[in-house]
Structure 1
């Protein structure tokens, strides 16, 4: 299952900051598809802790963002339109930024990506 998640509403700290992410529930990886004002790497790994999803970098287990209430272990979800609070500290040494996450799309297909960070094999 792959989710398209929109992070936004960081208006207090960074006006107009947002990121659009793909979260792959099966491989426990995420990739950035668009962003402004949130300095996130192109991809990373996902961890689940106490019903929250922790977005980590590609080589570091330190969370960059915590998506509170987004439980990737929940068999009944997540669902399109689901929302929650996001705590991000994408830039080391910066203050924690509070915003929101919003599930825009849930893709239940098991298709392999043709190109990109999650592609396997010689084409990757």
Structure 2
């Protein structure tokens, strides 16, 4: 299952800041499909901790974003329009910045991401 998740409402970073993430639930990877006003890598790994999804850089388990309540291990499944709070884990002395996440699309078909950014093996 792939999800398209929109992150927004980071008003302290920029009034129009957003990011669109393409999430591969099975591979536990994500890619950035679009963004504005938010610094983030092009792709990375996903981890679940206490029912929250941790959006991490490719080779680091330290979260860049924490999608609160988005549980990729949940047995009942996710639904389009589901929403919750996201914490942007900024670097330095700044406090966490809060925003919102929303599931825009759920795709149950197996397909490659548009830009093929999941760099596993020689596929990059």
TM-score by shorter chain over 0.5: yes
Q: CA RMSD in A?
A: 1.9
**Structure 2 unaligned spans of 5+:** none
Distance 1:109 1:62, change over 3 A: same
Q: Secondary structure at the match of 2:110?
A: coil
Cα deviation for residue 35 of structure 1 reads 0.5
Contact 1:5 1:23 in 2 (8 A): yes
Per the alignment, residue 82 of structure 2 pairs with 82
1:38 matched to 2:48? The reply is no
Distance 1:59 1:120, change over 3 A: closer
**Structure 1 unaligned spans of 5+:** none
Return the TM-score normalized by structure 1: 0.89
Contact 2:44 2:118 in 1 (8 A): no
Q: Give matches, 1:1-124, under 5 Å.
A: 1-89=1-89, 91-93=90-92, 94-113=94-113, 116-118=116-118, 124=124
Q: Deviations for 1:42-79, whole angstroms, at most 9, x for unmatched residues?
A: 01100001110000101211011000000001122211
How many residue pairs get matched?
123
Return the TM-score normalized by structure 2: 0.89
Distance 1:10 1:115, change over 3 A: closer
* Structure 1 Cα separation of the partners of residues 63 and 45 of structure 2: 9
Cα deviation for residue 110 of structure 1 reads 1.9
